[in-house]
Amino acid sequence: AQKVTQAQTEISVVEKEDVTLDCVYETRDTTYYLFWYKQPPSGELVFLIRRNSFDEQNEISGRYSWNFQKSTSSFNFTITASQVVDSAVYFCALSDRDRSGGSYIPTFGRGTSLIVHP
Amino acid sequence: KAGVTQTPRYLIKTRGQQVTLSCSPISGHRSVSWYQQTPGQGLQFLFEYFSETQRNKGNFPGRFSGRQFSNSRSEMNVSTLELGDSALYLCASSPGTSGGRSTDTQYFGPGTRLTVL
């Protein structure tokens, strides 16, 4: 099983629609870190958010919001009133340890391509 | 602050050759990570350096190696290139507050596009 699953390969919306990108992760570690990154057509990944496993507070930043639920191992990302500039590939990532005392290894999901039409 | 810079941006090599890619982190950042991005395997972690020492390593063969210098700049080397090594190689820097444990926020460079013929 994949450690980070982004089941939506591609989402297409019209501007001003709300869109939610799903991320489900799998880990046995009790302390882990979750991230979302955006990769626009230019190719450079842009950091969006970092969460540790002890912080389940949802976060809102402008039109972006994140819903972290440990009970379902999900860390979903919602864009409200989408804009054409939001078109990009969005990656969810998990950093955890395979064994106690081991190294943290980042694992990225396969990404969700978001296309926002004008 | 200037962002992460990677050189060269594009590279074409033939099978069997070796290649060295360079990464300059954001000023003040002490940790550098390397990733390989391909359509087939997605984004995969190669390794992370902190204070000139490799702290974490992904699941890649020994042909992939790296080093970090005292000014935090890093190089990645791939020896005996194979066709499957064609990829976008991304470098990311982070402040290093976790001591190179791959838990910090990472800031990515534009990548080096390597094509192996």
Enumerate the residues of chain B whose CB falls inside 8 A of the CB of residue A91: 43
Q: Residue A34: pLDDT above 90?
A: yes
- Higher-pLDDT residue of B103 and B29 is B29
Contacts of B10 (CB under 8 A, 6+ apart): B112, B113, B115
For the segment A59-69, what is each residue's pLDDT rounded down to a tens digit?
A: 888 999 999 99
B44 at A interface, C-beta within 8 A: yes
Q: Where are the alpha helices (DSSP H) in chain B?
A: none
What is the nearest CA distance from B25 to chain A, expressed in angstroms? 14
User: Average pLDDT for residues B29-34, to the nearest whole number?
Assistant: 94
How many CB atoms sit inside 10 A of residue A13's CB?
Answer: 16
For the segment A6-22, what is each residue's pLDDT rounded down to a tens digit?
A: 999 999 999 999 999 99
Span between the terminal Cα atoms of chain B, in Å: 37
Residues A85-107, buried b or exposed e (16+ Cβ, 10 A)?
Answer: ebbbbbbbbbbbbeeeeebbbbb
User: Average pLDDT for residues B32-45, to the nearest whole number?
Assistant: 94
Contact A108 B44 (CB under 8 A): yes
What is the reported pLDDT for B78?
A: 97
From CA B83, how far away is CA A86, in angstroms rounded?
34
Average pLDDT value over all residues in chain A: 92
